[in-house]
Amino acid sequence: MHTTLQTLWQETRDSDSVRHRLHDVLRQAIIRMVLAPGQALSEKEIADLFAVSRQPVREAFIRLSESGLVEVRPQRGTYVVRISRQAVLEARFIRESLEVSITLEAVKRPLQPSVLMELNELIVRQRSCIERQDHDRFFFLDEMFHRTLAFSTGQVMAWKVVEDVKAQLDRVRYLSIPDSTPIAKLADQHQAIVDAVAAADTQAAVEAMSIHQREILNSLPELERRFPDMFEEVALVTPALAI
């Protein structure tokens, strides 16, 4: 675990503040299940690991609690929260609403050829992750695809809102790759979005983005069955109790 956290730290920008870098490292570690749901987090241990004071660690914990990723329990400690099905569904709804709107903007503009080229190049790079089974790299390239689409339409604030609300959703997305949702399927969905935008086909573009954003609904029940310890209230929906 410590080695992975230090690797994530090295991937952050030196120019960012320690607090910001710590938040990014811990957020990614939680999303990638390096820090598992229910795990206790030690303020002192993390501060010692990165050779920083405890204050920026404390501030990072607060930001993570605001995103719904950790729970700070006074006098008891800080814990990675289990995945909330309701939070995932709400985040997915918000993300689909915003990203469909972003896609509509991309059709209306239309996008510059250089942007379409960049999006297509990202898809090529995503496909290169299939054979190598490089899930972390694909996850990064997936983020870049959606971020590029949002920024190219001038919807920077919309993307920031998406980033803020999708923390719980990201954990489920990460769990779903590759077994529940194969990389090739997601790359194909990205291609359908770009092709529809390039063709200025509003209906096809909206449908392609909606299908893509609803993909997680297909994998969520399976993930709850496979990883019950990672989810809240999973026992409430078991077949035995449903009779």
Domains and CATH numbers, the chain: 2-80 (1.10.10.10), 85-225 (1.20.120.530)
pLDDT digits (tens, 9 = 90+) for 39-95: 999 999 999 999 999 999 999 999 999 888 999 888 788 999 999 999 999 999 999
Position 234 pLDDT exceeds 70: no
**What backbone torsions phi and psi does residue 179 show, to the nearest 5 degrees?**
-70, -50
Position 225 pLDDT exceeds 80: yes
The whole-number pLDDT of residue 137 equals 92
The whole-number pLDDT of residue 236 equals 42
Q: How many angstroms separate the Cα of 23 from the Cα of each of 44, 110, 176, 207?
A: 15, 36, 24, 35
Asked if 35 and 26 count as a contact pair (C-beta separation under 8 A), the reply is yes
**Global confidence as pTM:** 0.86
Asked if 155 and 105 count as a contact pair (C-beta separation under 8 A), the reply is yes
Where helices occur in 12-110 by DSSP H, the ranges are 18-31, 43-49, 54-66, 85-108
* DSSP 8-state assignment for residue 16: S
CA angle, corner 49, sides to 45 and 54, nearest 5? 60
The whole-number pLDDT of residue 73 equals 87
Position 190 pLDDT exceeds 70: yes
Q: How many angstroms separate the Cα of 202 from the Cα of each of 72, 101, 205, 213, 241?
A: 45, 11, 5, 17, 44
| pLDDT range class, residue 233, cuts 50, 70, 90 | low
